[in-house]
Each structure stands twice: as structure tokens, then as C-alpha cells.
Amino acid sequence: MNQTEKRTASSLTEQAYIALREKVITCELPPGADVKEAELAAMLEMSKTPVREAMGRLCLEGLMQAFPRRGYRVTPVTVKDMNNLFELRSILEGAAAGLAAKNTTEENLDQLEDLARAKYQIGEGESTKSFVASNHRFHIGIAKASNNPRLISLIERHLEEGTRFLYMGTRARDVNFETNSDHQGIIAALRTRDAQAATSLMQQHIESTRTGLLNALINQSDTQISF
């Protein structure tokens, strides 16, 4: 294989990886779904080789599970995993909010205000993607205002991991008012430089998100969560 062919193969693998990862994160490929290379290759209009390599990366990330001679399964979401992630987010993001109250700028707070107004329509794909992206930028914006690179890195990693949970939540219930209200409260605490209030409100927000999401998913007839 010459250099041009290698670059082409690498590019196709990257395309397959990006496309399949998005389908898992947005729950187009729902938790627990069984899939085969041939089906995915047909879906992406590619050969099986880049799909196989992309699936290998997703397995390493924990988003997919491989079963020799049988195919793959989208890694199920469990109550334990969800609780563990939100518990860690509460610790990390609570600390970041407290530091941000001391370090953030008025310009950053104005940007957070804009992000806090994001809304979506249940079942409407593009508005949901925009809402999830704005929510991500809101939490990352507060993390970055902590001015602690190690803390920022940890929060980015765990926010990324929790994106699939947020997509599941937006499909299970309307979180517009709850999210917007919580975010505005956090911004108010940041504007007054009240580190204790900012920490507490961030932790309350993450906990209410966890309980609301769990209750909605558990009560669904086609629940996508395991115990």
C-alpha cells in the first residue's frame, strides 16, 4: 500500500469513527442495540474494513462491546454508571464553580447568559443537538473560568462521557425550564462572586439532573437503562 492509499484508508476510518460515535452519543444507535459490521458498512456506504477499525476505537472508549463472530453491542447504560458519573461531576464542577466565582470575567458571564437561554423541541433533532452543544459549552465555560488546567481536563472528559445521558434525558422529558432556571441561578452567584453559593447551586443542578433523568428513564416503557 502506497502513501496515498494509506492516507485514504486512514481518512475513511476517521470518517467511520466520527459518524458511528455520533450515532452512539445521540442514541440513534440506542444503548444495548446489537449491530454487525455489514449493516454499519451499508449504512455508511463504506467497506467493512474502516468500519471494523472504527469499531475497535469505540470499543476502547467503552462505547461499544465486541462479541467475536456475533458482532457488536452498543454499551448499555446502567444506573450504577450513571450515579458514579454524576457523583464525580458534582465534586469536580462544584469546585470549578467556586473557583470561577473568583476568576471569571464579565465577558465570560455574558457568554454564559447567552448559552443559558438555549432551548429545544422534544423529538426535533437539530434543536436538540444545538441545546446539548450549548449545555456543554456552558459547563466548559465555567470549568475554564476556574483557571485550573487539571480540573478543566477532568471536567471535559466527564462531560463528554455524559453527553449520551443528556441526549437520553432530552428524549425522555422536557428539561428546558429546569436547565435554564438552574443555569441562570448559577450565573447570578458567579456575578456576585459568591463562591459558596456557586458551588452549592452547581451541585444542586447536577443532582436534580441526575434524579430527573433516572426517574424519567426508569418510568419509560422502552427504558434504555439497566440495573
pLDDT score recorded for residue 224:
64
Last residue of some domain: 75, 90, 112?
75
- Residue 191's domain comprises 78-226
pLDDT score recorded for residue 4:
46
Q: Are residues 100 and 41 in the same domain?
A: no
pLDDT score recorded for residue 3:
41
pLDDT score recorded for residue 5:
45
**Residue 8 maps to which CATH number?**
1.10.10.10
Last residue of some domain: 75, 104, 126?
75
Q: Are residues 51 and 93 in the same domain?
A: no
pLDDT score recorded for residue 68:
87
Q: Are residues 208 and 115 in the same domain?
A: yes
Q: Are residues 17 and 33 in the same domain?
A: yes
Q: Are residues 99 and 70 in the same domain?
A: no
pLDDT score recorded for residue 60:
95
Residue 118 is placed in which grid cell?
438555549
pLDDT tens per residue, the chain (227 residues)? 444 444 455 689 999 999 999 999 998 999 999 999 999 999 999 999 999 999 999 999 999 999 988 899 999 989 999 999 999 999 999 999 999 999 999 999 999 999 999 999 998 889 999 999 999 999 999 999 999 999 999 999 999 888 999 998 888 889 999 999 999 999 999 999 999 999 999 999 999 999 998 888 887 756 566 76
pLDDT score recorded for residue 125:
87
**Residue 113 maps to which CATH number?**
1.20.120.530
Q: Are residues 49 and 135 in the same domain?
A: no
Number of structural domains in the chain: 2
Q: Are residues 110 and 180 in the same domain?
A: yes
pLDDT score recorded for residue 95:
98
Q: Are residues 82 and 42 in the same domain?
A: no
Last residue of some domain: 75, 107, 135?
75
Q: Are residues 62 and 88 in the same domain?
A: no
146 phi and psi angles, rounded to 5 deg: -70, -20
Q: Are residues 71 and 87 in the same domain?
A: no
Complete DSSP assignment for the chain: --HHHHHHHHHHHHHHHHHHHHHHHTTSS-TT-EE-HHHHHHHHTS-HHHHHHHHHHHHHHTSEEEETTTEEEEPPEEHHHHHHHHHHHHHHHHHHHHHHHHH--HHHHHHHHHHHT----TT-HHHHHHHHHHHHHHHHHHHHHTT-HHHHHHHHHHHHHHHHHHHHHHHHS--HHHHHHHHHHHHHHHHTT-HHHHHHHHHHHHHHHHHHHHHHHHH-TT--EE-
Residue 88 is placed in which grid cell?
464525580
Q: Are residues 59 and 140 in the same domain?
A: no
Q: Are residues 201 and 155 in the same domain?
A: yes
pTM recorded for the entire structure? 0.86
